[in-house]
Structure 1
Amino acid sequence: MNVLSLRGIRKSFGAHVVLRDVSLEVAEGECVVLIGASGSGKSTLLRCVNLLEVVDDGVVELDGQDITDPRVNADEVRSRMGMVFQSYNLFPHLSVLQNITLAPVRVHKVARAEATEWARAALERVGLADKANARPDDLSGGQQQRVAIARAMVNSPRLLLLDEVTSALDPELVGEVLDLLQGLREDGMTMILNTHEMGFARSVADEVCFLSDGVILERGPAQQVLGAPQEERTQRFLSRLLH
Protein backbone atom coordinates (compact mmCIF):
# COMPACT_ATOMS: atom_id res chain seq x y z
CA MET A 1 0.00 0.00 0.00
CA ASN A 2 1.17 3.53 -0.74
CA VAL A 3 1.82 5.83 2.20
CA LEU A 4 0.28 8.71 0.23
CA SER A 5 -2.10 8.83 -2.72
CA LEU A 6 -3.39 12.01 -4.36
CA ARG A 7 -6.16 11.76 -6.93
CA GLY A 8 -7.46 14.67 -8.97
CA ILE A 9 -6.43 17.42 -6.55
CA ARG A 10 -7.72 20.88 -7.42
CA LYS A 11 -7.13 24.07 -5.44
CA SER A 12 -8.01 27.68 -6.24
CA PHE A 13 -7.63 30.94 -4.40
CA GLY A 14 -10.49 33.04 -5.70
CA ALA A 15 -10.30 33.02 -9.49
CA HIS A 16 -6.67 31.88 -9.43
CA VAL A 17 -6.35 28.12 -10.03
CA VAL A 18 -3.17 26.90 -8.29
CA LEU A 19 -3.55 23.11 -8.67
CA ARG A 20 -5.54 21.39 -11.39
CA ASP A 21 -6.08 17.63 -11.43
CA VAL A 22 -2.86 16.63 -9.65
CA SER A 23 -2.43 12.91 -8.97
CA LEU A 24 0.57 11.37 -7.24
CA GLU A 25 1.50 8.22 -5.31
CA VAL A 26 4.31 7.86 -2.81
CA ALA A 27 5.34 4.37 -1.69
CA GLU A 28 6.85 3.57 1.70
CA GLY A 29 10.49 4.63 1.89
CA GLU A 30 10.24 6.62 -1.33
CA CYS A 31 11.52 10.16 -1.86
CA VAL A 32 9.57 12.30 -4.34
CA VAL A 33 11.02 15.68 -5.31
CA LEU A 34 8.85 18.47 -6.71
CA ILE A 35 10.53 21.02 -8.96
CA GLY A 36 9.17 24.00 -10.85
CA ALA A 37 9.18 27.78 -10.95
CA SER A 38 7.82 29.90 -8.10
CA GLY A 39 4.03 29.91 -8.30
CA SER A 40 3.79 26.51 -9.98
CA GLY A 41 1.89 25.02 -7.01
CA LYS A 42 4.60 23.05 -5.17
CA SER A 43 4.14 24.60 -1.73
CA THR A 44 0.35 24.62 -2.04
CA LEU A 45 0.43 20.91 -2.84
CA LEU A 46 2.38 20.17 0.35
CA ARG A 47 0.00 22.34 2.37
CA CYS A 48 -2.98 20.44 0.95
CA VAL A 49 -1.38 17.13 1.95
CA ASN A 50 -0.87 18.44 5.50
CA LEU A 51 -4.46 19.78 5.64
CA LEU A 52 -3.24 23.36 6.05
CA GLU A 53 -5.30 24.11 2.93
CA VAL A 54 -8.66 22.55 2.09
CA VAL A 55 -8.77 21.05 -1.41
CA ASP A 56 -11.59 22.12 -3.74
CA ASP A 57 -11.80 18.70 -5.35
CA GLY A 58 -10.01 15.35 -5.27
CA VAL A 59 -8.90 12.91 -2.59
CA VAL A 60 -5.80 12.72 -0.37
CA GLU A 61 -5.22 9.31 1.23
CA LEU A 62 -2.70 8.61 3.99
CA ASP A 63 -2.13 4.88 4.49
CA GLY A 64 -5.40 4.24 2.68
CA GLN A 65 -7.47 6.65 4.80
CA ASP A 66 -9.27 9.49 3.00
CA ILE A 67 -7.97 12.47 5.01
CA THR A 68 -9.91 14.98 2.89
CA ASP A 69 -13.12 13.70 4.48
CA PRO A 70 -14.40 16.68 6.53
CA ARG A 71 -15.11 14.36 9.48
CA VAL A 72 -11.42 13.56 9.85
CA ASN A 73 -9.56 14.93 12.89
CA ALA A 74 -6.89 17.12 11.28
CA ASP A 75 -4.67 17.18 14.38
CA GLU A 76 -4.64 13.38 14.51
CA VAL A 77 -3.73 13.22 10.82
CA ARG A 78 -0.95 15.78 11.25
CA SER A 79 0.47 13.71 14.11
CA ARG A 80 1.29 11.09 11.46
CA MET A 81 3.12 13.59 9.25
CA GLY A 82 5.97 15.99 9.80
CA MET A 83 6.23 19.28 7.92
CA VAL A 84 9.27 21.54 7.67
CA PHE A 85 8.93 25.09 6.33
CA GLN A 86 11.54 27.25 4.64
CA SER A 87 11.46 29.83 7.47
CA TYR A 88 11.94 27.33 10.37
CA ASN A 89 8.88 28.65 12.32
CA LEU A 90 10.56 28.13 15.70
CA PHE A 91 9.33 30.01 18.78
CA PRO A 92 12.17 32.37 19.78
CA HIS A 93 11.16 32.55 23.47
CA LEU A 94 11.31 28.75 23.92
CA SER A 95 14.38 26.54 24.18
CA VAL A 96 15.16 24.05 21.42
CA LEU A 97 13.81 21.22 23.59
CA GLN A 98 10.61 23.15 24.38
CA ASN A 99 10.05 23.88 20.69
CA ILE A 100 10.23 20.19 19.88
CA THR A 101 8.03 18.96 22.76
CA LEU A 102 5.34 21.65 22.41
CA ALA A 103 3.08 19.88 19.90
CA PRO A 104 3.38 16.36 21.36
CA VAL A 105 2.48 17.65 24.85
CA ARG A 106 -0.09 20.35 24.02
CA VAL A 107 -1.77 18.98 20.90
CA HIS A 108 -1.28 15.21 21.09
CA LYS A 109 -1.38 14.89 24.90
CA VAL A 110 1.84 12.88 25.16
CA ALA A 111 3.29 12.76 28.70
CA ARG A 112 6.01 15.39 29.07
CA ALA A 113 8.66 12.85 30.14
CA GLU A 114 7.97 10.72 27.06
CA ALA A 115 7.92 13.76 24.76
CA THR A 116 11.26 14.90 26.20
CA GLU A 117 12.74 11.46 25.56
CA TRP A 118 11.50 11.58 21.95
CA ALA A 119 12.85 15.12 21.51
CA ARG A 120 16.32 14.22 22.79
CA ALA A 121 16.43 11.24 20.42
CA ALA A 122 15.41 13.49 17.50
CA LEU A 123 18.10 16.05 18.43
CA GLU A 124 20.65 13.26 18.57
CA ARG A 125 19.61 12.21 15.06
CA VAL A 126 20.12 15.72 13.64
CA GLY A 127 23.45 16.19 15.44
CA LEU A 128 22.27 18.81 17.94
CA ALA A 129 22.02 16.88 21.22
CA ASP A 130 24.17 19.54 22.91
CA LYS A 131 21.81 22.37 21.91
CA ALA A 132 18.69 21.22 23.81
CA ASN A 133 18.71 24.21 26.17
CA ALA A 134 19.75 26.85 23.61
CA ARG A 135 17.33 29.41 22.19
CA PRO A 136 16.78 29.51 18.41
CA ASP A 137 18.46 32.93 18.16
CA ASP A 138 21.65 31.38 19.54
CA LEU A 139 21.86 29.00 16.57
CA SER A 140 22.95 29.38 12.96
CA GLY A 141 20.33 29.17 10.23
CA GLY A 142 21.44 25.65 9.38
CA GLN A 143 21.14 24.59 13.00
CA GLN A 144 17.68 26.18 13.27
CA GLN A 145 16.53 24.26 10.21
CA ARG A 146 17.90 21.03 11.67
CA VAL A 147 15.91 21.75 14.87
CA ALA A 148 12.81 22.25 12.69
CA ILE A 149 13.48 18.86 11.07
CA ALA A 150 13.92 17.27 14.51
CA ARG A 151 10.57 18.77 15.54
CA ALA A 152 8.93 17.28 12.44
CA MET A 153 10.47 13.87 13.16
CA VAL A 154 9.78 13.77 16.91
CA ASN A 155 6.76 11.44 16.68
CA SER A 156 8.28 9.13 14.01
CA PRO A 157 5.97 10.32 11.21
CA ARG A 158 4.85 8.13 8.34
CA LEU A 159 5.58 10.97 5.93
CA LEU A 160 7.93 13.97 5.99
CA LEU A 161 7.00 17.08 3.95
CA LEU A 162 9.79 19.58 3.28
CA ASP A 163 9.02 22.95 1.73
CA GLU A 164 12.13 24.63 0.25
CA VAL A 165 14.03 23.92 3.44
CA THR A 166 17.33 25.37 2.17
CA SER A 167 16.07 28.51 0.41
CA ALA A 168 16.46 30.78 3.47
CA LEU A 169 19.97 29.53 4.29
CA ASP A 170 23.32 31.07 3.47
CA PRO A 171 25.04 28.94 0.79
CA GLU A 172 27.66 27.58 3.20
CA LEU A 173 24.91 26.24 5.51
CA VAL A 174 22.91 24.44 2.82
CA GLY A 175 25.19 21.41 2.80
CA GLU A 176 24.63 20.46 6.44
CA VAL A 177 20.85 20.34 5.96
CA LEU A 178 21.12 18.40 2.69
CA ASP A 179 23.49 15.90 4.34
CA LEU A 180 20.91 15.34 7.07
CA LEU A 181 18.13 14.76 4.52
CA GLN A 182 20.38 12.35 2.63
CA GLY A 183 20.81 10.40 5.88
CA LEU A 184 17.05 10.31 6.49
CA ARG A 185 16.58 9.09 2.93
CA GLU A 186 19.06 6.27 3.57
CA ASP A 187 17.20 5.41 6.80
CA GLY A 188 14.05 4.80 4.74
CA MET A 189 12.06 7.91 5.66
CA THR A 190 9.18 8.52 3.23
CA MET A 191 9.54 12.09 1.96
CA ILE A 192 8.11 14.66 -0.41
CA LEU A 193 10.14 17.80 -0.83
CA ASN A 194 10.36 20.73 -3.14
CA THR A 195 13.74 22.21 -3.87
CA HIS A 196 15.83 24.23 -6.31
CA GLU A 197 18.92 22.15 -5.41
CA MET A 198 19.07 20.01 -8.54
CA GLY A 199 22.24 18.16 -7.54
CA PHE A 200 20.53 17.10 -4.32
CA ALA A 201 17.35 16.14 -6.19
CA ARG A 202 19.42 13.97 -8.52
CA SER A 203 21.06 12.16 -5.60
CA VAL A 204 18.00 11.48 -3.38
CA ALA A 205 14.87 11.34 -5.56
CA ASP A 206 13.17 8.12 -6.55
CA GLU A 207 10.87 10.27 -8.69
CA VAL A 208 11.07 13.90 -9.81
CA CYS A 209 7.86 15.75 -10.71
CA PHE A 210 8.03 19.00 -12.68
CA LEU A 211 5.06 21.25 -11.91
CA SER A 212 3.99 24.00 -14.28
CA ASP A 213 0.78 26.03 -14.09
CA GLY A 214 -0.65 23.73 -11.42
CA VAL A 215 -0.17 20.41 -13.20
CA ILE A 216 2.53 17.74 -13.09
CA LEU A 217 3.82 18.27 -16.61
CA GLU A 218 6.61 15.69 -16.46
CA ARG A 219 7.59 12.97 -14.01
CA GLY A 220 10.04 10.11 -13.85
CA PRO A 221 13.37 8.97 -12.39
CA ALA A 222 15.72 11.83 -11.50
CA GLN A 223 18.28 10.94 -14.15
CA GLN A 224 15.64 11.08 -16.87
CA VAL A 225 13.77 14.24 -15.83
CA LEU A 226 16.87 16.21 -14.86
CA GLY A 227 19.25 14.74 -17.43
CA ALA A 228 17.05 14.25 -20.51
CA PRO A 229 13.72 16.06 -20.00
CA GLN A 230 11.10 15.42 -22.68
CA GLU A 231 8.91 18.51 -22.24
CA GLU A 232 10.01 21.87 -23.63
CA ARG A 233 8.92 23.73 -20.48
CA THR A 234 10.97 21.36 -18.30
CA GLN A 235 13.97 21.94 -20.56
CA ARG A 236 13.56 25.74 -20.32
CA PHE A 237 13.19 25.64 -16.53
CA LEU A 238 16.29 23.50 -16.04
CA SER A 239 18.39 25.51 -18.49
CA ARG A 240 17.61 28.72 -16.58
CA LEU A 241 18.42 27.03 -13.28
CA LEU A 242 21.61 25.29 -14.34
CA HIS A 243 23.28 28.10 -16.28
Structure 2
Amino acid sequence: MTAENVPAEPRHPEPLLRAEGLRKVFGRRVVLDGLDLEVAEGECVVLIGGSGSGKSTLLRCLNLLEELDDGRILLAGEDISDPRIDADRVRARIGIVFQAFNLFPHLSVLDNVTLAPIRVHRVPPVKAREEARAMLQRVGLAEQAGQWPDQLSGGQQQRAAIARALVNRPMMILLDEVTSALDPELVGEVLTLLRRLRDDGTTMVIATHEMDFARQVADKVCFLHDGRILEQGPPDMIFTEPREQRTREFLARMIMPS
Protein backbone atom coordinates (compact mmCIF):
# COMPACT_ATOMS: atom_id res chain seq x y z
CA MET A 1 0.00 0.00 0.00
CA THR A 2 1.40 3.36 -1.00
CA ALA A 3 1.55 6.34 1.33
CA GLU A 4 -1.19 7.98 -0.72
CA ASN A 5 -3.52 5.04 -0.05
CA VAL A 6 -2.99 4.90 3.72
CA PRO A 7 -6.19 6.21 5.33
CA ALA A 8 -5.68 9.25 7.54
CA GLU A 9 -6.08 8.67 11.23
CA PRO A 10 -9.19 10.34 12.63
CA ARG A 11 -8.50 13.47 14.64
CA HIS A 12 -10.42 12.10 17.63
CA PRO A 13 -10.13 8.30 17.66
CA GLU A 14 -11.21 6.60 20.91
CA PRO A 15 -13.61 8.38 23.29
CA LEU A 16 -12.12 9.71 26.50
CA LEU A 17 -15.61 9.85 27.96
CA ARG A 18 -18.55 7.64 27.08
CA ALA A 19 -22.02 8.14 28.56
CA GLU A 20 -24.45 5.29 27.93
CA GLY A 21 -28.19 5.38 28.48
CA LEU A 22 -28.16 8.17 31.06
CA ARG A 23 -31.49 8.61 32.80
CA LYS A 24 -32.30 11.21 35.45
CA VAL A 25 -35.74 11.87 36.92
CA PHE A 26 -36.79 14.67 39.26
CA GLY A 27 -40.16 13.72 40.74
CA ARG A 28 -42.31 12.85 37.74
CA ARG A 29 -40.18 14.82 35.31
CA VAL A 30 -37.75 12.89 33.12
CA VAL A 31 -34.79 15.21 32.50
CA LEU A 32 -32.40 12.75 30.87
CA ASP A 33 -34.06 9.96 28.93
CA GLY A 34 -31.55 7.33 27.84
CA LEU A 35 -28.96 9.85 26.64
CA ASP A 36 -25.74 8.68 24.96
CA LEU A 37 -22.65 10.84 24.46
CA GLU A 38 -19.04 10.32 23.42
CA VAL A 39 -16.23 12.82 23.88
CA ALA A 40 -12.75 12.16 22.48
CA GLU A 41 -9.53 13.48 23.96
CA GLY A 42 -8.86 17.00 22.71
CA GLU A 43 -12.40 17.39 21.38
CA CYS A 44 -14.64 20.40 21.97
CA VAL A 45 -18.26 19.28 22.20
CA VAL A 46 -20.91 21.99 22.38
CA LEU A 47 -24.40 21.28 23.74
CA ILE A 48 -27.27 23.39 22.42
CA GLY A 49 -30.98 23.20 23.07
CA GLY A 50 -33.83 25.01 24.76
CA SER A 51 -34.29 25.54 28.47
CA GLY A 52 -35.23 22.26 30.12
CA SER A 53 -33.64 20.12 27.40
CA GLY A 54 -31.22 18.56 29.88
CA LYS A 55 -27.93 20.34 29.15
CA SER A 56 -27.12 21.45 32.71
CA THR A 57 -28.32 18.20 34.25
CA LEU A 58 -26.11 16.25 31.85
CA LEU A 59 -23.03 18.23 32.90
CA ARG A 60 -23.87 17.81 36.59
CA CYS A 61 -24.27 14.05 36.11
CA LEU A 62 -20.94 13.81 34.28
CA ASN A 63 -19.28 15.56 37.25
CA LEU A 64 -21.15 13.29 39.74
CA LEU A 65 -23.00 16.24 41.26
CA GLU A 66 -26.24 14.41 40.45
CA GLU A 67 -26.83 10.71 40.98
CA LEU A 68 -27.99 8.80 37.93
CA ASP A 69 -31.21 6.81 37.95
CA ASP A 70 -29.89 4.59 35.18
CA GLY A 71 -27.01 4.30 32.73
CA ARG A 72 -23.28 4.58 33.21
CA ILE A 73 -20.38 6.94 32.56
CA LEU A 74 -16.96 5.70 31.50
CA LEU A 75 -13.91 7.95 31.80
CA ALA A 76 -10.79 6.54 30.16
CA GLY A 77 -12.46 3.14 30.42
CA GLU A 78 -13.28 3.41 34.14
CA ASP A 79 -16.91 3.30 35.27
CA ILE A 80 -17.07 6.51 37.30
CA SER A 81 -20.82 6.10 37.85
CA ASP A 82 -20.18 3.13 40.13
CA PRO A 83 -21.58 4.12 43.56
CA ARG A 84 -18.34 2.96 45.20
CA ILE A 85 -16.23 5.47 43.27
CA ASP A 86 -14.39 8.30 45.06
CA ALA A 87 -16.27 11.34 43.75
CA ASP A 88 -13.53 13.79 44.79
CA ARG A 89 -11.00 11.83 42.74
CA VAL A 90 -13.31 11.95 39.73
CA ARG A 91 -13.89 15.70 40.12
CA ALA A 92 -10.14 16.25 40.06
CA ARG A 93 -10.20 14.64 36.61
CA ILE A 94 -13.38 16.37 35.35
CA GLY A 95 -13.47 20.08 36.16
CA ILE A 96 -16.70 22.06 35.99
CA VAL A 97 -17.50 25.77 35.73
CA PHE A 98 -20.98 27.24 36.23
CA GLN A 99 -22.62 30.47 35.08
CA ALA A 100 -22.38 31.75 38.67
CA PHE A 101 -18.72 32.28 39.46
CA ASN A 102 -18.96 30.73 42.97
CA LEU A 103 -15.75 32.41 44.12
CA PHE A 104 -15.32 32.78 47.88
CA PRO A 105 -15.55 36.55 48.52
CA HIS A 106 -13.33 36.44 51.63
CA LEU A 107 -10.44 34.80 49.75
CA SER A 108 -8.09 36.38 47.24
CA VAL A 109 -8.12 35.16 43.65
CA LEU A 110 -4.96 33.16 44.34
CA ASP A 111 -6.44 31.59 47.47
CA ASN A 112 -9.63 30.68 45.58
CA VAL A 113 -7.57 28.84 42.99
CA THR A 114 -5.37 27.04 45.55
CA LEU A 115 -8.16 26.05 47.95
CA ALA A 116 -9.07 22.67 46.45
CA PRO A 117 -5.49 21.60 45.61
CA ILE A 118 -4.39 22.26 49.21
CA ARG A 119 -7.48 21.20 51.18
CA VAL A 120 -8.84 18.37 49.04
CA HIS A 121 -5.93 17.04 47.01
CA ARG A 122 -3.22 17.64 49.64
CA VAL A 123 -0.87 19.49 47.30
CA PRO A 124 1.90 21.24 49.31
CA PRO A 125 1.02 24.95 49.62
CA VAL A 126 4.20 26.20 47.94
CA LYS A 127 3.63 23.96 44.93
CA ALA A 128 -0.09 24.78 44.83
CA ARG A 129 0.59 28.52 44.76
CA GLU A 130 3.23 28.09 42.05
CA GLU A 131 0.84 26.11 39.86
CA ALA A 132 -2.02 28.54 40.57
CA ARG A 133 0.07 31.54 39.53
CA ALA A 134 0.99 29.75 36.30
CA MET A 135 -2.67 29.04 35.62
CA LEU A 136 -3.68 32.63 36.35
CA GLN A 137 -1.00 33.72 33.91
CA ARG A 138 -2.53 31.40 31.33
CA VAL A 139 -5.99 32.95 31.70
CA GLY A 140 -4.64 36.51 31.76
CA LEU A 141 -5.09 37.21 35.48
CA ALA A 142 -1.54 37.13 36.82
CA GLU A 143 -1.74 40.75 37.99
CA GLN A 144 -5.04 40.12 39.81
CA ALA A 145 -3.80 37.20 41.94
CA GLY A 146 -3.89 39.22 45.17
CA GLN A 147 -7.22 40.94 44.57
CA TRP A 148 -10.60 40.07 46.09
CA PRO A 149 -13.28 38.71 43.75
CA ASP A 150 -15.44 41.84 44.10
CA GLN A 151 -12.54 43.90 42.75
CA LEU A 152 -12.75 42.02 39.43
CA SER A 153 -15.09 42.48 36.51
CA GLY A 154 -17.57 39.72 35.77
CA GLY A 155 -15.42 38.48 32.90
CA GLN A 156 -12.36 38.39 35.15
CA GLN A 157 -14.28 36.50 37.82
CA GLN A 158 -15.37 33.90 35.28
CA ARG A 159 -11.80 33.52 34.05
CA ALA A 160 -10.71 33.01 37.67
CA ALA A 161 -13.36 30.30 38.02
CA ILE A 162 -12.02 28.62 34.86
CA ALA A 163 -8.48 28.82 36.26
CA ARG A 164 -9.72 27.16 39.46
CA ALA A 165 -11.21 24.31 37.43
CA LEU A 166 -8.06 23.87 35.34
CA VAL A 167 -5.44 24.07 38.07
CA ASN A 168 -5.85 20.38 38.98
CA ARG A 169 -4.96 19.53 35.36
CA PRO A 170 -8.21 17.64 34.73
CA MET A 171 -8.64 15.27 31.83
CA MET A 172 -11.57 17.39 30.66
CA ILE A 173 -13.56 20.45 31.66
CA LEU A 174 -17.32 21.04 31.62
CA LEU A 175 -18.69 24.57 31.17
CA ASP A 176 -22.34 25.39 31.85
CA GLU A 177 -23.55 28.63 30.23
CA VAL A 178 -20.45 30.43 31.50
CA THR A 179 -21.29 33.68 29.70
CA SER A 180 -25.00 33.96 30.53
CA ALA A 181 -24.43 35.92 33.77
CA LEU A 182 -22.12 38.44 32.08
CA ASP A 183 -22.84 41.84 30.63
CA PRO A 184 -22.67 41.66 26.81
CA GLU A 185 -19.40 43.62 26.64
CA LEU A 186 -17.70 41.06 28.92
CA VAL A 187 -18.79 37.95 27.04
CA GLY A 188 -16.07 38.28 24.41
CA GLU A 189 -13.12 37.96 26.80
CA VAL A 190 -14.43 34.65 28.19
CA LEU A 191 -15.17 33.27 24.72
CA THR A 192 -11.67 34.28 23.61
CA LEU A 193 -10.22 32.27 26.50
CA LEU A 194 -12.31 29.24 25.58
CA ARG A 195 -11.11 29.48 21.98
CA ARG A 196 -7.53 29.51 23.23
CA LEU A 197 -8.13 26.49 25.46
CA ARG A 198 -9.68 24.67 22.54
CA ASP A 199 -6.70 25.48 20.33
CA ASP A 200 -4.41 24.19 23.10
CA GLY A 201 -6.17 20.81 22.92
CA THR A 202 -8.20 21.06 26.14
CA THR A 203 -11.04 18.53 26.13
CA MET A 204 -14.25 20.47 26.75
CA VAL A 205 -18.00 19.96 26.89
CA ILE A 206 -19.74 23.34 26.73
CA ALA A 207 -23.43 24.12 27.17
CA THR A 208 -24.15 27.48 25.56
CA HIS A 209 -26.70 29.72 23.90
CA GLU A 210 -23.92 31.46 21.94
CA MET A 211 -24.61 30.02 18.51
CA ASP A 212 -21.83 31.91 16.71
CA PHE A 213 -19.32 30.63 19.26
CA ALA A 214 -20.62 27.08 18.89
CA ARG A 215 -20.29 27.27 15.14
CA GLN A 216 -16.73 28.63 15.26
CA VAL A 217 -15.23 26.51 18.03
CA ALA A 218 -17.01 23.15 18.30
CA ASP A 219 -15.67 19.96 16.81
CA LYS A 220 -19.11 18.46 17.41
CA VAL A 221 -22.46 20.09 18.19
CA CYS A 222 -25.15 18.14 20.03
CA PHE A 223 -28.76 19.35 19.95
CA LEU A 224 -30.64 18.23 23.05
CA HIS A 225 -34.41 17.90 23.16
CA ASP A 226 -36.54 16.24 25.84
CA GLY A 227 -33.53 14.72 27.58
CA ARG A 228 -31.98 13.13 24.52
CA ILE A 229 -29.41 14.11 21.93
CA LEU A 230 -31.77 14.43 19.00
CA GLU A 231 -29.05 15.32 16.49
CA GLN A 232 -25.28 15.70 16.50
CA GLY A 233 -22.51 16.36 14.04
CA PRO A 234 -19.97 18.91 12.81
CA PRO A 235 -21.06 22.55 13.17
CA ASP A 236 -21.43 23.08 9.42
CA MET A 237 -23.88 20.18 9.22
CA ILE A 238 -25.95 21.16 12.27
CA PHE A 239 -26.16 24.85 11.43
CA THR A 240 -26.63 24.61 7.67
CA GLU A 241 -28.23 21.20 6.99
CA PRO A 242 -29.94 19.95 10.16
CA ARG A 243 -31.91 16.77 9.55
CA GLU A 244 -34.43 17.11 12.36
CA GLN A 245 -37.39 19.49 12.29
CA ARG A 246 -36.92 20.29 15.99
CA THR A 247 -33.33 21.35 15.32
CA ARG A 248 -34.42 23.60 12.47
CA GLU A 249 -37.10 25.21 14.64
CA PHE A 250 -34.65 25.82 17.50
CA LEU A 251 -32.03 27.39 15.24
CA ALA A 252 -34.64 29.56 13.55
CA ARG A 253 -35.49 31.01 16.97
CA MET A 254 -31.89 31.42 18.08
CA ILE A 255 -30.27 32.82 14.94
CA MET A 256 -31.68 36.14 13.84
CA PRO A 257 -31.69 36.72 10.09
CA SER A 258 -29.01 39.13 8.91
TM-score of the pair, normalised by structure 1: 0.99
Post-superposition offset of 1:151: 0.3
2:78 counterpart of 1:73: no
Q: 2:202 aligns with which of 183, 189, 203?
A: 189
**Residue in 1 that maps onto 2:26:** 13
Larger radius of gyration: 2
**Residue in 1 that maps onto 2:177:** 164
Q: 1:46 aligns with which of 30, 46, 59?
A: 59
SS of equivalent to 2:15: coil
**Residue in 1 that maps onto 2:134:** 121
User: Whole-Å Cα distance in 2 between the matches of residues 175 and 227 of structure 1?
Assistant: 24
User: Whole-Å Cα distance in 2 between the matches of residues 180 and 126 of structure 1?
Assistant: 7
**Residue in 2 that maps onto 1:132:** 145
Q: 1:206 aligns with which of 187, 200, 219?
A: 219
Q: Which residue identity is paired with 1:181?
A: L
Q: 2:48 aligns with which of 23, 35, 51?
A: 35
Post-superposition offset of 1:59: 0.7
2:191 counterpart of 1:178: yes
1:214-233 matches, cutoff 5 A: 214-233=227-246
Deviates further, 78-87 or 42-51: 78-87
- Aligned residue pair count: 243
Q: Which residue identity is paired with 1:166?
A: T
Post-superposition offset of 1:230: 1.3
Post-superposition offset of 1:232: 0.9
**Residue in 2 that maps onto 1:85:** 98
Instruction: Encode CA deviations 1:20-66: one digit per residue, 9 max, x unaligned.
Output: 01111111100000000011000000000000000100010111100
User: Whole-Å Cα distance in 2 between the matches of residues 89 and 44 of structure 1?
Assistant: 18
2:157 counterpart of 1:149: no
Instruction: Encode CA deviations 1:93-136: one digit per residue, 9 max, x unaligned.
Output: 11000100001111111111111111101100000000000000
Post-superposition offset of 1:210: 0.3
User: Whole-Å Cα distance in 1 between the matches of residues 123 and 27 of structure 2?
Assistant: 39
Gaps of 5+ in 2: 1-13
Q: Which residue identity is paired with 2:126?
A: A
User: Whole-Å Cα distance in 2 between the matches of residues 227 and 135 of structure 1?
Assistant: 44
Gaps of 5+ in 1: none
Post-superposition offset of 1:3: 1.3
Q: Which residue identity is paired with 1:136?
A: P
User: Whole-Å Cα distance in 2 between the matches of residues 164 and 228 of structure 1?
Assistant: 25
Post-superposition offset of 1:226: 1.4
TM-score of the pair, normalised by structure 2: 0.93
User: Whole-Å Cα distance in 2 between the matches of residues 116 and 3 of structure 1?
Assistant: 29
